[in-house]
Structure 1
Amino acid sequence: MHKTLSSVRSFSFMALLFLPLVLILFVPSTNAGSWPPSPGYYPSSKFRSMSFYKGYRNLWGPGHQSTDNNGITIWLDRTSGSGFKSVKPFRSGYFGTSIKLQPGYTAGVITAFYLSNSEAHPGYHDEVDIEFLGTTFGKPYTLQTNVYIRGSGDGRIIGREMKFHLWFDPTNNFHHYAILWSPKEIIFFVDDVPIRRYPRKSVATFPLRPMWVYGSIWDASSWATEDGKYKVDYRYQPFIGKFNNFKASGCTAYAPRRCHPVSASPFRSGGLSRQQNKAMQWVQSHYLVYNYCKDYKRDHSLTPECWR
């Protein structure tokens, strides 16, 4: 009996020694699997960077911009926001920039990089958006992608929003965000990882008219953060967005018809490779937080691409 009791005590003592190791092995890591698999192809490395002034000009809020040769800082305060626009319009291309966002309370603030022809077609324009929706303390930024065709902000707009959280904090460092727009598809990228592909399924649901490239920061209190629940609080002004590492390669509106649309995959014909698709599916399964095609409150007769 004494021998048995001694063995039990020895076993219990050894179990206590190894318990911390067992717990370490079986408690899941909060960082495990948090980064997407490699896309295997890095389109941002295929296109030359340019300085801000080589490709862009001030559009509004010149007193709320600070530029150097390579980049621009824009900000929003109680008096104004700011925006810039590409010198040339394009009919296809790869458009990217590296952005660093402001930490803390940024509810109601939109920091955007997008394509549009709103000035050429007021009230009836096309747009392809990467928009960062400001947030409250302790909550992550939301990256919203959107595509709309021949619409405007007057109530006739049909949004095609897909919203994501990111696998990193976009306020810590610059990260690269890009749009590939060709006559047959639109692909959104974050650090070369494709997060969304919007294929052309009909002329009625795809933007084909030339567009300019824009960046801006502005007050969208009415809808930006939790459908307008949280507004811009100017006690935290100025709200700052930093842009650099601009890329804009493709066919300008003035290029000859023989200009071939660029690709953001290993295939000159476009699309995504199997590895790129795998990375995109991983992002959508882990970080997609809203998909307009899955929103049953929407009238999907207006978005036929959701059911074709």
Structure 2
Amino acid sequence: MAFFIPLFLILMIQPSNASSWPPSPGYYPSSKFRSMTFYQGFRNLWGPQHQRMDNNALAIWLDSSSGSGFKSVRPFRSGYFGASIKLQPGYTAGVITAFYLSNNEAHPGYHDEVDIEFLGTTFGKPYTLQTNVYIQGSGDGRIIGREMKFHLWFDPTQGFHHYAILWSPKEIIFLVDDVPIRRYQRKSVATFPLRPMWLYGSIWDASSWATEDGKYKADYRYQPFIGMYTNFKATGCSAYAPRWCHPVSASPFRSGGLSTRQYMAMRWVHSHYLVYDYCRDSKRDHSLTPECWG
């Protein structure tokens, strides 16, 4: 005897993963910019003995003797900066794997910085992706971070995923696999980085704060801790470009901003995976972060 099951009942009894993945942003900025090899755009900054090429991907690692870092050969005043990154599985507490913009070497103690940082974790717990923006003063004793932290809708240790920063004179947009996860707008000169910055990547021991505010430290029984980087993108206006160089956009609009579909995808990420927002932290002194008020 044959049975006919209506389609709507099939859909009701089948498990759905629709809530586990963000809606399509409808626009994919990573496809708009050319990739480069590591040696075309970067050089080792420190820990050269902890850095190697592995099947067209750069591996950098931390052990008890050292970490490692790299730096772009050119500074930029705006642009799209991305890399496909794969993280170390297992126990990685205390370890930071980072991809970021900074001018710390040009302005020590009074620098700007735009961070994507992966905060290591303990067994069975997810990585935290921390985004941060510093403006003219990180490291001078009056550190004002603008952290937003996220978990991810995938396991970043199981494959490469593309992480990017879009920095223009009026906004900073952080993206994961082309999905915008954060938009930081320029609301005043005092709260926005405008000086040229270089692009960096690094892996290092931040046991004092990285994992649950320093509760769990780096454990070198699990060394080496490896970060893999490939598919590098660094496109935009270098510090040496003519004044008419037009900043790139992360949306279909040349003027910047985000499309309606991109906003929908970002709101989905915030509702499902945002775990910390500095503007909502009642313990923070928000007189130091006036952009939080609109």
The two structures have a TM-score, normalised by structure 1, of: 0.90
* 2-structure distance, mates of 1:68, 1:278: 37
The question of 1:220 aligning with 2:206 is answered yes
Residue aligning to 2:114: 128
Residue aligning to 1:184: 170
Q: What do the CA deviations read for 1:194-218 (whole angstroms, capped 9, x no partner)?
A: 0000000000000000000000000
Identify if the C-alpha distance between structure 1 residues 258 and 77 changes in structure 2 by more than 3 Å, giving closer, same or farther: same
Contact kept? 2:60, 2:69, Cα under 8 Å: yes
Question: Unaligned regions of 5+ residues in structure 2, if any?
Answer: none
The question of 1:94 aligning with 2:80 is answered yes
Alignment of 1:115-194 (within 5 A): 115-194=101-180
Post-superposition offset of 1:29: 4.2
Residue aligning to 1:203: 189
**Which residue among 202, 206, 216 is the counterpart of 1:230?**
216
Post-superposition offset of 1:103: 0.4
Contact kept? 2:85, 2:160, Cα under 8 Å: yes
* 2-structure distance, mates of 1:43, 1:30: 28
**Which residue among 239, 249, 269 is the counterpart of 1:263?**
249
* 2-structure distance, mates of 1:68, 1:269: 39
* 2-structure distance, mates of 1:185, 1:193: 16
Q: What do the CA deviations read for 1:163-185 (whole angstroms, capped 9, x no partner)?
A: 00000000000000000000000
Q: What do the CA deviations read for 1:99-131 (whole angstroms, capped 9, x no partner)?
A: 000000000000000000000000000000000
Post-superposition offset of 1:31: 3.2
Post-superposition offset of 1:157: 1.1
Contact kept? 1:53, 1:69, Cα under 8 Å: no
Post-superposition offset of 1:69: 8.2
* 1-structure distance, mates of 2:141, 2:245: 36
Identify if the C-alpha distance between structure 1 residues 301 and 153 changes in structure 2 by more than 3 Å, giving closer, same or farther: same
How many pairs does the alignment contain? 287
Post-superposition offset of 1:151: 1.7
Q: What do the CA deviations read for 1:250-300 (whole angstroms, capped 9, x no partner)?
A: 000000000000011000000000110110011011100000000000000
Residue aligning to 1:106: 92
* 2-structure distance, mates of 1:107, 1:30: 32
Post-superposition offset of 1:72: 0.8
Backbone CA RMSD of aligned residues: 1.7
Equivalent AA in structure 2 for residue 114 of structure 1: Y
Contact kept? 2:45, 2:71, Cα under 8 Å: yes
Equivalent AA in structure 1 for residue 69 of structure 2: G
Q: Which has the larger radius of gyration?
A: 1
Residue aligning to 2:69: 83
* 2-structure distance, mates of 1:154, 1:108: 23
Contact kept? 1:116, 1:212, Cα under 8 Å: yes
Q: What do the CA deviations read for 1:225-264 (whole angstroms, capped 9, x no partner)?
A: 0000000000000000000000000000000000000011
The question of 1:33 aligning with 2:33 is answered no
Say which SS state the counterpart of residue 284 (structure 1) adopts.
Answer: helix
Say which SS state the counterpart of residue 187 (structure 2) adopts.
Answer: coil
Contact kept? 1:51, 1:69, Cα under 8 Å: no
Say which SS state the counterpart of residue 121 (structure 2) adopts.
Answer: coil
Residue aligning to 1:14: none
* 1-structure distance, mates of 2:18, 2:248: 35
Say which SS state the counterpart of residue 33 (structure 1) adopts.
Answer: helix
Residue aligning to 1:290: 276
Say which SS state the counterpart of residue 173 (structure 2) adopts.
Answer: strand
Equivalent AA in structure 2 for residue 289 of structure 1: V
Say which SS state the counterpart of residue 20 (structure 2) adopts.
Answer: coil
Post-superposition offset of 1:302: 0.2
Question: Unaligned regions of 5+ residues in structure 1, if any?
Answer: 1-17
* 2-structure distance, mates of 1:204, 1:70: 41
Residue aligning to 1:10: none
